[in-house]
Amino acid sequence: MVSMFGPRSLQTISSIIYSIDPIIRQRTPSKMKVRALILTVAAIANSAFAQDYQDYADGYEQDNLYQDYAMKQQEKGGGGGGGLVKSIGAFGISYLIGAKVHSGRISKKMKTKHLKDQKTLYTQYYNDVYRLEEQKAEQQAVIEQLQAALA
């Protein structure tokens, strides 16, 4: 990119601004407008003196490496080829790997959930059996008392 301001022109602009600055030291709106106007005029004047890159090139001309490369690629016969096939293949492989990982996570979560549900079911079953055995023992005791009272 060609610079609009060369080092000499920036030095000239800054010296102009510093020479005018004591006059515009007070920052009132009208004086700020004057300062902005001076900066704009200096920038426009400097654009007339802007130098081209070729002034600094010192014998180095623009290279054409990319153009040579592009011409060789066209002579080879087309581009890389197979880009769409490679993209679809990469998508398919990543999809399968992702599906395997996520299904592994889901199956692990489901196993822990089912083990928890199974544990609560067995605990409830054990408690129900224990209560039934207690009721059976109480009923046996009541039956024995009734048989003893009848005899």
Express each pLDDT in 59-106 by its tens digit: 666 678 888 888 888 887 655 567 888 899 999 999 999 888 889 899
**Whether pTM exceeds 0.75:** no
Provide, rounded to the nearest whole percent, the portion of the chain with pLDDT above 70.
65
Report which of 18, 40, 36, 15 is spatially closest to residue 27, judged by C-alpha positions.
36
**Residue 1 confidence class, pLDDT cut points 50, 70, 90:** very low
3-state secondary structure of 56: coil
Rounded distance between C-alpha atoms, residue 22 and residue 25, angstroms:
5
For residue 148, pLDDT beyond 80: yes
Rounded distance between C-alpha atoms, residue 8 and residue 21, angstroms:
20
For residue 49, pLDDT beyond 90: no
Q: Average pLDDT over the chain, rounded to whole?
A: 79
For residue 41, pLDDT beyond 70: yes
